[in-house]
Amino acid sequence: MISRNTIDTVFETARVEEVIGEFVQLKKAGSNFKGLSPFSDEKSPSFMVSPVKQIWKDFSSGKGGNVVSFLMEHEHYSYPEAIRFLAKKYNIEIDEIEQTDEQKDQATERESMFLVSEFARDYFHDILLNNGKGKAIGYSYFKERGFTDETIKKFELGYSLDDWSHFTDTAVRKGYDIDYLEKTGLTIVNETRQFDRFKSRVLFPIHSMSGRVLGFGGRILTNEKKAAKYLNSPESDIYHKSKILYGIYYAKQSIAKEDNCYLVEGYTDVISFHQNGVENVVASSGTALTSDQIRLISRLTKNITILFDGDAAGMRASLRGIDLILEQGMNVKVLTFPDGDDPDSFSKRVSTDELKEYLGENAQDFINFKVSILLEDAKNDPVKKAGLIRDIVVSISKIPDSIQREVYIQECARIMSISETVLFSELAQIFKKEQREASKKPLQVRPEEPVLQKTSTQENVNELEKYEREIIKILLLHGNKKINFVDLIDDEAAGQKKEIYTNLISQEIYLDLQDDEIEFTNEVFRQVYFDVISQLNQEEDISVDAFINHVNTEISSLVTNILMDDEKHTLSDWKRKEIVVKGIDEGLSKLVSDSVFNLRRILIDEKIGELQKAVSMDKSNDSILEEIVNYSNLKKRLFSELNRVV
């Protein structure tokens, strides 16, 4: 595990404008930088980077955060992966905190397997480009497939010589342990000898989401009848075929930006699409699609388009994948290519514009696809047609969202010329059958879930969060400032008189909320507030950096959004247009008071609502009526303070 000291050093050293500048073209805008959003298509820049605050904000998508959160959003790294990326970039030595012997052994073993896999990638790629036999056989094969040198280098394609142990001997000679060569499946070890698994094959390295080499896919180029045409690395601690998609590392940014993922079957389908300008594509590598692979895509988009060739038999065999995608709450479309074409061949014989146009115009929803595939078998047979309709309803039943299910039922009724009532009845029967089957399974003991009571209307919840956020914003931006406040004191002789006193804004808010025993309803706001109070109790200034670089990305994102709220005007260059932006410092005292008063007002409204409900159940309870009157009077006083009419 990475030590806190290393994480702090990374945040102190990394420059957000330098890191983001590698991915987004930034231009100076006052003290900030601006550019086009990397998360959406736009013509006017809405992406802002603040070197002073070391944060960024994308006003088009609402995303924002620190340098680590940018890598997590844009590169889809995990938190540790982002820290390691920055440590490597800035030459920071990573200090690992103390681990158990078992954890150390496991971490060392996994890392050794990664190192062996990365060596193999470089070895096979070098053989392909620089070895005589590698160039004559492997390189020639890829060139015949129409791949350019740039594409071959991008996907790090390789070749393993037609030699029983050339790779293994080279790896051992360079100091790589035979144990890890065997565990990754690169070398097969038996009682008499050790030899290369991928002998005489072209190699396709398979990467993780973050770009680490997990394993390989190999295609044989000889005519050996007993040898499999395609061969993958075996399952290992780092490679799980059912949990990875070929090309995800190269496609992740495009998938997120296009908000759609094209799913194909083979390695060359992915590579050909990339070479022709369509990069949001991944492959299931010839295996049946799994739930883990779908969830991997769902981190990037909720939309999947499955691309089939013209082989009807293959398409029927893949129909199960559609139901799996629907089960995961994803939106699925299907596209087929003309007879004789697959994604690889089609993308090679058309231009980029023609390919994109075909993909855009020919994708159809799964109902139309199933009808087009299965109706041919049903023809005029009523029994088979009924079976087709039932099959479609089963697919619709997999959709978790009830509104989407209803829309698809309506679409099925229209296409198949059948009553919606009948389809809804069939859907209900499917659900009942699933419930019966579930009831037959052994009961699993589940922890009791707390019963949530609705204590406020949605409008009140939204208003509460609005003013809770406002208070957090004041604390972060102005909490360390001392300003004058006005207190109204009751005086028997002179009535109410004003008393002016000076206090820290953070201290004033803390005392006001403590007096009323007010707690934040939003969990993230509550945690930020507690951290602020903790800093104050230690007689420290509020440290905004501690929140910007917080391990909890929700807190980091919230604080960044608050800090960048006031930077919007730099995008529009209001100063150049002679539009004066009024400073907030001029009315800070009133802003603090109004925020606390408004919070009290909403909570009082809730309390009055609860009491009125109690009165409706017990109209003779005078004490409750008296309480309502007292709260109503308090509400009037608050409105008076806020200069509002009740």
pTM: 0.65
pLDDT value, residue 580: 47
Would you place residue 121 in the very low, low, confident or very high pLDDT band (cuts 50, 70, 90)?
very high
CATH no. of 4-89: 3.90.580.10
User: CATH 3.90.980.10 in the chain, residues?
Assistant: 101-239
Domain with CATH 3.90.580.10 in the chain: 4-89
Task: Look at residue 291 in the predicted model and tell me its pLDDT.
Answer: 87
Name the DSSP letter for residue 246: B
Closest CA relative to residue 187, chosen from 161, 213, 169 = 169
Each residue's pLDDT tens digit, 522-572: 888 888 888 887 887 776 778 888 888 887 878 888 888 888 876 665 555
More confident residue, 8 or 625: 8
Residues forming beta bridges with residue 195, ordered by sequence position = 188
| Fold category of 101-239 in CATH | DNA primase DNAg catalytic core, N-terminal domain (3.90.980)
Residue range(s) in the chain whose domain bears CATH number 3.40.1360.10: 248-439
Per-residue pLDDT tens digits for 43-89: 788 899 988 888 999 888 888 889 998 988 887 777 888 898 899 88
458-472: pLDDT as tens digits: 455 577 888 888 888
* pLDDT, tens digit (0-9, with 9 covering 90-100), for 356-400: 999 999 999 888 888 777 776 776 788 888 888 888 888 899 888
495-504 vs 482-491, strand pairing mode: antiparallel
DSSP 514-571: HHTT---SSHHHHHHHHHHHHHHHTT----HHHHHT-SSHHHHHHHHHHHHGGGHHHH
* Three-state SS sequence of 595-631: HHHHHHHHHHHHHHHHHHHHHHHCCCCHHHHHHHHHH
CA atoms of 8 and 66, how far apart (whole Å) = 13
Average pLDDT of the chain to the nearest whole number: 82
Domain 248-439 has CATH 1.20.1250.20: no
pLDDT tens per residue across span 274-319 = 999 999 999 987 678 888 899 888 878 889 999 987 665 556 656 7
